[in-house]
Amino acid sequence: MGRIGLVVTDLVLSFMWIWAGVLVNILVHGVLGFSRTDPSGEIVRYLFSIISMFIFAYLQQATKGGLYNPLTALAAGVSGGFSSFIFSVFVRIPVEVIGSILAVKHIIHVFPEIGKGPKLNVAIHHGALTEGILTFFIVLLSMGLTRKIPGSFFMKTWIGSLAKLTLHILGSDLTGGCMNPAAVMGWAYARGEHITKEHLLVYWLGPVKATLLAVWFFKVVFKPLTEEQEKPKAKSEFCNVFFFYVANSTVSTSSIKSEI
Domain residue spans in the chain?
Answer: 3-221
CATH for 3-221? 1.20.1080.10
The predicted structure's pLDDT at residue 232: 45
Tell me, what's the pLDDT at 170?
95
- Which residues have a Cβ under 8 Å from the Cβ of 222 and sit 6 or more positions away? 143, 144, 147
Supply the pLDDT for residue 146. 84
The list of the chain residues with pLDDT below 70 reads 1, 150-151, 224-260
pLDDT recorded at residue 225: 57
Could you tell me if 174 and 122 are in contact, meaning their C-beta atoms sit under 8 angstroms apart?
Answer: yes
CA-CA-CA-CA dihedral for 32, 36, 39, 40, to nearest 10: 0
Q: What is the predicted pLDDT for the residue at 259?
A: 37
> Is the Cβ–Cβ distance between 215 and 79 less than 8 Å?
yes
The confidence score (pLDDT) of residue 150 equals: 67
Question: Quick check: 133 and 114 in contact, CB under 8 A?
Answer: no
Q: Determine the pLDDT at residue 192.
A: 86
Angle, in degrees to the nearest 10, between helices 70-79 and 93-110: 170
End-to-end CA distance of the chain: 56
Specify the pLDDT at position 227: 52
